[in-house]
Chain A
């Protein structure tokens, strides 16, 4: 690979020089690509803000219609307990059928049906039930609406019981009641924007770490410049490594931009752990994902194909790695499969460092997994790269 007459020091110098000029070339080329730069800038600034401020997974503003067959003090009391921000009272219907029609049209999410004689039954201590019909087309939202509603009705019922008992005897002390005193950690305000904006940054890192080096490599194939590199003393390792290095630098800069312009000032995300450690991990993750991208680039013939492969590979990664949905909730075969996704480890690392403030002592296994995956993918990419020109 290197001059036979040179000392090993000279060989190392040449090797580094070659890697350096190639990396500089990648950065120069990226710098000339104005549309891509603009896209990158948007993805790590405005788009982070939009998804942080816009995406809400918690139950919010669910439309409620009521069929009140009783129109009594008790029925009004119950209806009032369905309040904002979780539910929005969207009017009364005269007929349960009309309510069902609203569910069908999608103009209401929850239909609460209160039977006649509701108040009377409560007064006479008869058991009485209300009916809830919930549209669960959007399963998570519908299920939480049902759960919230059940809790509201349950609370209404226990309040009634307690007050009745309290009125009858000396109060609640005699009743066996278990109260859950919960305490939330790491995001005390339960501010969803933190989670959403961080997970969006991870999405963008994944996308660009895959796409940038892959596009750069396949562009060299398209333009025939890769041939020129192959007949020069540059090794395939240097060709691929220079792309990863350059693109990782770019991604780190973009991540820093997102943290400085959106995460801290706009959403006030408390960066609890070591920023340096976070960047180190991001670099490792970029390298790992870039390995995957470079592998795809050796298979693809042009940039369009790389784009399609990115869709094919990245969307399951994003959906199943626990970036937005809990990893633990997935079927075990998906969990096993996702052990191969570097994002699965990066999610733990990122939330761990940024929100929990934990360090390497707890995250070393995730780091090891990313490094192993990255090494393997990079190796496979190298193998394909060498092979395709044979």
Chain B
């Protein structure tokens, strides 16, 4: 770890000289599935003791690469060397397997649902011939670390997503491998469990000196890796330390407000390639790191519109990834014909009005007094962990589930009495995109047009509109399963919009889509809302996406525990918890322990950096630095960071969990 920290400033080349302590060396790796080339000439080097990240969308080749390194997949070209052994035969693979722990993709898929936590662990340990004494010792340690002790006897199928993930990790590491290969361990897990997972993993790696190769589809997790590689279409776009990656694309992110927003976007897009709208804000990537130069470029592009609440930040890794991707590919902008003038919905009315919704399943209250309002033309985000009640709320609003108590109007229809009218006036798109994969694009669109009762004339009109809107021309007679995820997603959106609904429900609509696809998708959504007056209610696991919403509601245990615009939500947390600071130190693990002992409970590890909340910045900063210097940790820098919505989510949920625990403990006492 020390050595990596020391390199931070000196090394800037992407692929340095071959390291002596490389655990994995991959060169010119090629993997084909029939004619499809999944991985195409990848070079990779993983050094002892580091957390190496593979980042890329679905289908970028992450899993193939990881399986080959784990010795469970043959490949078609290049070489894979693990612990100095060339993995080119089954026998060679068997030699390295004892030193490897591999967690395949899919939450809990490698575990046995009927077995208890302990039985699962024992099974994997016996499989790896772990001696009983070591097993007992490790089990106690790992169960304590993951706080699963209390649930030892609970069958795996009754665990929450976060718990399954932690159990999966224990089972993968029970034989203390030297290299842990974890394929998308955090996909489908809520932000709180994700953070928990990362801190457990960091602690374990530190303690055992293990090396880890981890893939993720969440861009915001990139900062947690020591080194990483961006994968796209089977190729490495860039690799290195996060700082090195940033250096590849120098620039800055400008956030500002300008009215009217759509005109501003159009003008900015003419000049810059990465322009997004986040609620009422605009977010632009500019090729210069100089703040005043950035400002003057924006002013020039906007012309007579004056930007307000101007802010310049360092680009995130996602911005870097997108910039790199854009260099490679010609990105078609969203077509101009987003709305046909015939279906602009009245922007004054309320689209959704939920009043004290309650839903009980037996003795369990899934939704507890939920009320909120969404105006036409508003993008409303419903956030919350799995099981927080988001889906139940959506089902009630869609008219497929009756509320136990409470009432609501959706698109002007009462959800208690007019479920049929609701169904005709809303569009719905789910996580699975809900398309028929064995039908062609055209057949899918025609099916949904028929379901919504469109006549021939309006059907062909809407068909053209969907094809243009979603950029599907040329794909009309392709089978849906052959489409890239991003295109599939836009087709699903098109099908949900075939009848020009007033309200659109999106249930985790962007999983598995690459960042450019996601931005393209959000661009369409924003325009639907701004130009067409469509009200959009969306749930998402990607907190970075929640920034796009005009208003948010955070659900916890069936209740709405915080609501407001993204800015409001951040301010609310800043008021209670303080400002967020990023501390760069030379010994992050040690620093974290010391900080937590000093009373900074919110401190968390992000790769080689620490994040902590300070209520009184000046005093807290000083006391934190003092505590660290006193224990022999060198502090390189302390910078304030703007809060992300993920910080907000984690802070809120953790606070609620703490009060809940103390309440139950109080009751027990």
Residue of A nearest to B437 (CB): A223
Per-residue B-contact encoding for A214-233, CB less than 8 Å = 1, 0 else: 00000000011101111111
Which of B398, B426, B438, B446 lies in contact with A29, CB distance below 8 A? Answer: B438
- On whether the beta carbons of B439 and A232 are closer than 8 Å, the reply is no
Which of B399, B448, B450, B479 lies in contact with A17, CB distance below 8 A? Answer: B450
Instruction: A227 to B447: give the CA distance in the assembly, Å.
Output: 15
- On whether the beta carbons of A228 and B450 are closer than 8 Å, the reply is no
- On whether the beta carbons of A3 and B443 are closer than 8 Å, the reply is no
Of B421, B426, B438, B505, most buried by chain A (CB within 10 Å of CB) is B438
Residue of B nearest to A390 (CB): B401
Which of A22, A32, A231 lies in contact with B505, CB distance below 8 A? Answer: A231
Instruction: A49 to B101: give the CA distance in the assembly, Å.
Output: 54
Q: Does A356 contact B (CB under 8 A)?
A: no
- On whether the beta carbons of B439 and A21 are closer than 8 Å, the reply is no
Residue of B nearest to A20 (CB): B450
Given A1-B420, A2-B420, A21-B447, verify A230-B436 contact (CB < 8 Å).
no
- On whether the beta carbons of B448 and A28 are closer than 8 Å, the reply is no
Q: Does A39 contact B (CB under 8 A)?
A: no
- On whether the beta carbons of B438 and A32 are closer than 8 Å, the reply is yes
Residue of B nearest to A225 (CB): B434
Which of B421, B423, B446 lies in contact with A232, CB distance below 8 A? Answer: B423
- On whether the beta carbons of B432 and A18 are closer than 8 Å, the reply is no
Q: Does B428 contact A (CB under 8 A)?
A: yes
Which of B401, B435, B438, B451 lies in contact with A233, CB distance below 8 A? Answer: B451
In chain B between 424 and 444, which residues have their CB closer than 8 angstroms to a CB of chain A?
424, 426, 428-432, 434-439, 443
- On whether the beta carbons of A29 and B436 are closer than 8 Å, the reply is yes
Q: Does A340 contact B (CB under 8 A)?
A: no
In chain B between 443 and 489, which residues have their CB closer than 8 angstroms to a CB of chain A?
443, 446-448, 450-453, 479
Residue of B nearest to A32 (CB): B438
Q: Does B400 contact A (CB under 8 A)?
A: yes
A contact residues around B423 at 8 Å (CB): 231-233
- On whether the beta carbons of B451 and A18 are closer than 8 Å, the reply is yes
B contact residues around A228 at 8 Å (CB): 428-430, 434
Q: Does A234 contact B (CB under 8 A)?
A: yes
- On whether the beta carbons of B505 and A233 are closer than 8 Å, the reply is no
Given A1-B420, A32-B438, A231-B400, verify A224-B451 contact (CB < 8 Å).
no
A contact residues around B401 at 8 Å (CB): 389-390
- On whether the beta carbons of B439 and A25 are closer than 8 Å, the reply is yes
Q: Does A33 contact B (CB under 8 A)?
A: yes
Instruction: A22 to B452: give the CA distance in the assembly, Å.
Output: 11
- On whether the beta carbons of B451 and A231 are closer than 8 Å, the reply is no
Instruction: A119 to B435: give the CA distance in the assembly, Å.
Output: 85
In chain B between 520 and 571, which residues have their CB closer than 8 angstroms to a CB of chain A?
none
B contact residues around A28 at 8 Å (CB): 438-439, 443
Given A2-B420, A4-B421, A14-B453, verify A21-B446 contact (CB < 8 Å).
yes
Instruction: A229 to B439: give the CA distance in the assembly, Å.
Output: 16
Residue of A nearest to B432 (CB): A224
Which of B420, B430, B439 lies in contact with A224, CB distance below 8 A? Answer: B430
- A275 CB, min distance to chain B CBs, angstroms: 33
B contact residues around A231 at 8 Å (CB): 398-400, 423, 426, 428, 505
Which of B421, B426, B434, B453 lies in contact with A227, CB distance below 8 A? Answer: B434
- On whether the beta carbons of B451 and A234 are closer than 8 Å, the reply is yes
- On whether the beta carbons of A225 and B420 are closer than 8 Å, the reply is no
Instruction: A3 to B418: give the CA distance in the assembly, Å.
Output: 11
A contact residues around B434 at 8 Å (CB): 223-225, 227-228
Instruction: A281 to B71: give the CA distance in the assembly, Å.
Output: 58
Interchain Cβ contacts within 8 Å, total number: 77
Instruction: A3 to B453: give the CA distance in the assembly, Å.
Output: 10
Instruction: A21 to B420: give the CA distance in the assembly, Å.
Output: 19
> How many residues belonging to A are interface residues under a CB distance threshold of 8 Å?
29
B contact residues around A224 at 8 Å (CB): 430-432, 434
- On whether the beta carbons of B451 and A232 are closer than 8 Å, the reply is yes
Instruction: A286 to B431: give the CA distance in the assembly, Å.
Output: 35
Given A32-B438, A225-B435, verify A230-B443 contact (CB < 8 Å).
no
Per-residue B-contact encoding for A54-84, CB less than 8 Å = 1, 0 else: 0000000000000000000000000000000
Given A3-B424, A29-B436, A228-B428, verify A389-B452 contact (CB < 8 Å).
no
Residue of A nearest to B428 (CB): A231
Instruction: A242 to B338: give the CA distance in the assembly, Å.
Output: 34
Instruction: A372 to B369: give the CA distance in the assembly, Å.
Output: 46
Residue of A nearest to B507 (CB): A227
Of A18, A24, A227, A230, most buried by chain B (CB within 10 Å of CB) is A227
A contact residues around B451 at 8 Å (CB): 18, 21-22, 229, 232-234
A contact residues around B428 at 8 Å (CB): 227-228, 231-232
Which of A17, A25, A229 lies in contact with B453, CB distance below 8 A? Answer: A17
B contact residues around A225 at 8 Å (CB): 432, 434-436
B contact residues around A18 at 8 Å (CB): 450-451, 453
Instruction: A228 to B428: give the CA distance in the assembly, Å.
Output: 7
Instruction: A21 to B434: give the CA distance in the assembly, Å.
Output: 17
- On whether the beta carbons of A29 and B432 are closer than 8 Å, the reply is no
- B390 CB, min distance to chain A CBs, angstroms: 14
B contact residues around A32 at 8 Å (CB): 438-439, 479
- B366 CB, min distance to chain A CBs, angstroms: 12
Residue of A nearest to B492 (CB): A228
Instruction: A369 to B592: give the CA distance in the assembly, Å.
Output: 76
Residue of A nearest to B495 (CB): A228
Residue of B nearest to A25 (CB): B447
Residue of B nearest to A19 (CB): B450
- On whether the beta carbons of A29 and B439 are closer than 8 Å, the reply is yes
B contact residues around A14 at 8 Å (CB): 453
Residue of A nearest to B418 (CB): A4
Instruction: A228 to B426: give the CA distance in the assembly, Å.
Output: 11
- B477 CB, min distance to chain A CBs, angstroms: 13
- On whether the beta carbons of B400 and A230 are closer than 8 Å, the reply is yes
- On whether the beta carbons of A232 and B448 are closer than 8 Å, the reply is yes
- On whether the beta carbons of B400 and A389 are closer than 8 Å, the reply is yes
Given A18-B450, A32-B438, A232-B448, verify A223-B424 contact (CB < 8 Å).
no
Instruction: A224 to B438: give the CA distance in the assembly, Å.
Output: 14
B contact residues around A390 at 8 Å (CB): 401
Instruction: A24 to B431: give the CA distance in the assembly, Å.
Output: 25
A contact residues around B431 at 8 Å (CB): 224
Instruction: A1 to B423: give the CA distance in the assembly, Å.
Output: 9
- On whether the beta carbons of B400 and A233 are closer than 8 Å, the reply is no
In chain A between 203 and 256, which residues have their CB closer than 8 angstroms to a CB of chain B?
223-225, 227-234
Per-residue B-contact encoding for A361-379, CB less than 8 Å = 1, 0 else: 0000000000000000000
- B642 CB, min distance to chain A CBs, angstroms: 36
9 intermolecular pairs with C-beta atoms under 8 Å apart: A18-B450, A21-B446, A22-B450, A32-B439, A227-B428, A228-B429, A231-B426, A389-B400, A390-B401
Residues of chain B at the chain A interface (Cβ within 8 Å): 398-401, 420-421, 423-424, 426, 428-432, 434-439, 443, 446-448, 450-453, 479, 505
Instruction: Using A3-B424, A231-B505, A233-B453 as known contacts, list a sample of 10 further A-B pairs with CB atoms less than 8 Å apart, ordered by residue number in A.
Output: A4-B421, A21-B446, A21-B451, A25-B447, A29-B436, A227-B430, A233-B451, A233-B452, A389-B400, A390-B401
